[in-house]
Amino acid sequence: MAAKRLVIGISGASGAIYGVRLLELMKDSGIETHLIISRAARLTLAHETDISVADVEALATVVYPEQDVGAACSSGSFRTLGMIVAPCSIKTMGEIATGTTTNLVSRAADVCLKERRRVVLMLRETPLHLGHIRSMAAVTEAGAIVYPPVPAFYARPASLEDMIDHTLGRVLDLFDIEIGTVRRWSGRSRKQS
């Protein structure tokens, strides 16, 4: 039986904690995580968190340098469940949308799309101009899922971690991976009179 693998890209958009927490949640899942951290993501990680790049890389099964175009995940013959870019910058989304890849994050996503594997982009940008919206449409037409990390308040999150975990649980739902962080909606309660 082939190993289950998920490629995780962390781009330079704000929200590096999404990628970090995703790796933490996947650590004991039995699914290999193949990590690519962009150069810009390393800067964002240092600015937004107290977590070192080495600590983030230690959470992954395999780590690839951003410029390693010969990495296993740069080939369609390397079987994976797909890829999550958490967070995803507009630049990275634009590269994936056009197939013009400049680093391993966008190349690995491009490979997943050409192999008809699931690609989820946790787009972190607001407000959006028309060029962003057109890139979102183009990447969706190519087969990716644009998933801005918008919190679900029906889950009544008690902390920022609750919001992040719920959002990541919903992203992993798209790969049929259950990590137990989603408070499932079961319908609106009706009071008996």
Q: What is the pTM for the complete model shown?
A: 0.94
Whether residue 1 has pLDDT greater than 60: no
Q: Domains (ranges, CATH) in the chain? A: 5-173 (3.40.50.1950)
pLDDT band of 3, cuts 50, 70, 90 = confident
Q: What is the 3-state secondary structure (H, E, C) of the chain?
A: CCCCEEEEEECCCCCHHHHHHHHHHHCCCCCEEEEEECHHHHHHHHHHCCCCHHHHHHCCCEEECCCCCCCHHHCCCCCCCEEEEEEECHHHHHHHHHCCCCCHHHHHHHHHHHCCCEEEEEECCCCCCHHHHHHHHHHHHCCCEECCCCCCHHHCCCCHHHHHHHHHHHHHHCCCCCCCCCCCCCCCCCCCC
pLDDT at position 189 is 65
Q: Of 40-44, 82-86, 106-110, 181-185, where does mean pLDDT reach its minimum?
A: 181-185
